[in-house]
């Protein structure tokens, strides 16, 4: 398992880098075919190739993951794959190459692999725009989904996820000389300040809804009244009703300064994953691994899409570790066979249910 993890980590795969993702997908295909036999297919897309493998027979279980990572090319030189003191480190070990390795070895332990499919997307980290339709199609065909994203804190499974999305607000004003006639301009930065406060007020933490302005930009130079400003906002919601309310609130944003305009793009593109979607599969997992915890988390995954379709979905079955998207990312080596065995047991239980 460690050898396979090293193989995957040492082929860097940043999102939107089609050449790197092609190399990563081909490497993943080779590992799958070596361990599981059969033929893994590359499914080309504008984001990069997805990988699909089937054990044949009537589809029953979809193993879901992604091979794109958030780290730019060159990260591996600075932070090479290492195993030390019971931990594996390197770009993508926790999110989520370790989970892919565990899934492959968990399936390999099955004497009969019929009914099992693996789908590994190339664009999960950037919203799954090119893979969502395929993910939904295969989830509906299989009827149960196991998501190999990294585990929750302490090794817990992810039984619920918030819906999430990004809104982009553009404020348009009118440029003018900041010293000679600032009054003839419309200051987009001042208008943006009003909008940031209005946007932050949309949040309802008491309902689990967070609305967080994260990036802002405005202006061109220090002596010009800025004619444009942009605000990027991260949104997380626990219910479809809150997604609708937040979307309506963004649509209702109005300018405070005469002559300014406000336009909104984006939205909540990953629906919430309710805990009810994972209840049946989590009960199976608890029988196989007594004491394993279930947690609802704020981050989204492709499991949000499959759960929203009503397909039973259990997430967080991947690596036990931490530091996703950070330089201290790590995976606990001793947990890898345990989690692989859990995948084996879940597939067997689902196929006999």
Q: In total, how many domains does the chain have?
A: 2
Task: Looking at the structure, tell me whether residues 254 and 280 fall in a common domain.
Answer: no
Task: Looking at the structure, tell me whether residues 179 and 263 fall in a common domain.
Answer: yes
Pairing between β-strand 261-270 and β-strand 163-172 as defined by DSSP bridges = antiparallel
Task: Looking at the structure, tell me whether residues 113 and 233 fall in a common domain.
Answer: no
Task: Looking at the structure, tell me whether residues 221 and 326 fall in a common domain.
Answer: no
Between CA 245 and CA 163, with CA 302 as vertex, the angle to 5 degrees is 15
Task: Looking at the structure, tell me whether residues 293 and 317 fall in a common domain.
Answer: yes
What stretches of 10-155 show up as alpha helix (H) in DSSP?
A: 18-36, 75-78, 98-108, 132-142
Its domain, for residue 317, covers 2-161+273-352
Q: Residues 72-117: pLDDT tens digits?
A: 999 999 999 999 999 999 999 999 999 999 999 999 999 999 999 9
Query: Mean pLDDT across the chain, nearest whole number?
Result: 97
Q: Residues 309-343: pLDDT tens digits?
A: 999 999 999 999 999 999 999 999 999 999 999 99
pLDDT, residue 61, reads 98
Report how far apart the first and last C-alpha atoms of the chain are (Å, whole number): 29
Q: Residues 105-139: pLDDT tens digits?
A: 999 999 999 999 999 999 999 999 999 999 999 99
Task: Looking at the structure, tell me whether residues 192 and 240 fall in a common domain.
Answer: yes
Q: Residues 283-312: pLDDT tens digits?
A: 999 999 999 999 999 999 999 999 999 999
Give me the DSSP letters along 102-131. Answer: HHHHHHHT-S--TTEEEEEES-GGGT-TTT
pLDDT, residue 213, reads 98
In 3D, which of 313, 295, 308 has the Cα closest to residue 350? Answer: 313
The 10 Å CB-count burial string (b at 16+, else e) for 284-300 is bbeebbeebebbbbebb
251, 270, 289: which is the final residue of a domain?
Answer: 270
226, 243, 270: which is the final residue of a domain?
Answer: 270
Task: Looking at the structure, tell me whether residues 105 and 78 fall in a common domain.
Answer: yes
What CATH number is given to the structural domain containing 88?
3.40.630.10
Q: Residues 214-236: pLDDT tens digits?
A: 999 999 999 999 999 999 999 99
Contact 330, 150 (CB under 8 A): no
pLDDT, residue 109, reads 98
270, 297, 320: which is the final residue of a domain?
Answer: 270
Between CA 199 and CA 209, with CA 205 as vertex, the angle to 5 degrees is 65
Task: Looking at the structure, tell me whether residues 116 and 27 fall in a common domain.
Answer: yes
What percentage of the chain exceeds 90 in pLDDT? Answer: 99
What CATH number is given to the structural domain containing 240?
3.30.70.360
- Cα–Cα distance between 101 and 318 in angstroms, integer? 9
pLDDT, residue 353, reads 85
Q: Residue 102 corresponds to which tokens in the numbers above?
A: 């565990």
């Amino acid at each position: 398992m460690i050898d396979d993890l090293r193989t995957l980590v040492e082929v860097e795969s940043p999102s939107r880098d089609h050449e790197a993702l092609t190399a990563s997908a081909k490497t993943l295909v080779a590992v799958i075919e070596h361990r599981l036999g059969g033929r893994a297919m590359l499914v080309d897309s504008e984001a990069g190739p997805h990988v699909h493998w089937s054990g044949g027979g009537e589809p029953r279980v979809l193993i879901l993951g992604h091979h794109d990572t958030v780290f730019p090319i060159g990260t591996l030189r600075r932070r090479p794959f290492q195993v030390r003191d019971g931990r594996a480190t390197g770009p993508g070990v926790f999110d989520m190459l370790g989970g892919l390795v565990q899934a492959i070895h968990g399936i390999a332990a099955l004497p009969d692999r019929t009914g099992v499919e693996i789908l590994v997307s190339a664009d999960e980290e950037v919203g799954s725009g090119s893979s969502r339709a395929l993910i939904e199609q295969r989830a509906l065909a299989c009827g149960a989904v196991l998501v190999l994203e990294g585990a929750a804190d302490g090794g817990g499974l992810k039984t619920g996820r918030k819906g999430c999305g990004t809104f982009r607000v553009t404020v348009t004003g009118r440029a003018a000389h900041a010293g000679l006639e600032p009054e003839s301009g419309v200051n987009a930065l001042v208008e943006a300040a009003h909008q940031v406060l209005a946007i932050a007020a949309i949040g309802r933490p008491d309902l689990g809804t967070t609305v967080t302005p994260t990036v802002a930009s405005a202006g061109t130079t220090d002596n010009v009244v800025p004619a444009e400003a942009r605000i990027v906002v991260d949104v997380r919601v626990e219910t479809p009703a809150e997604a609708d309310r937040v979307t309506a609130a963004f649509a209702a944003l109005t300018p405070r300064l005469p002559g300014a305009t406000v336009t909104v793009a984006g939205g909540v593109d990953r629906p919430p994953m309710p805990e009810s979607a994972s209840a049946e599969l989590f009960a199976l997992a608890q029988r196989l691994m007594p004491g394993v915890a279930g947690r609802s988390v704020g981050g989204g995954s492709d499991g949000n899409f499959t759960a929203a379709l009503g397909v039973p979905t259990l997430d967080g079955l991947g690596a036990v570790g931490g530091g996703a998207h950070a330089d201290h990312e790590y995976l606990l080596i001793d947990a890898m066979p345990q989690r692989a065995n859990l995948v084996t047991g879940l597939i067997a239980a689902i196929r006999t249910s």
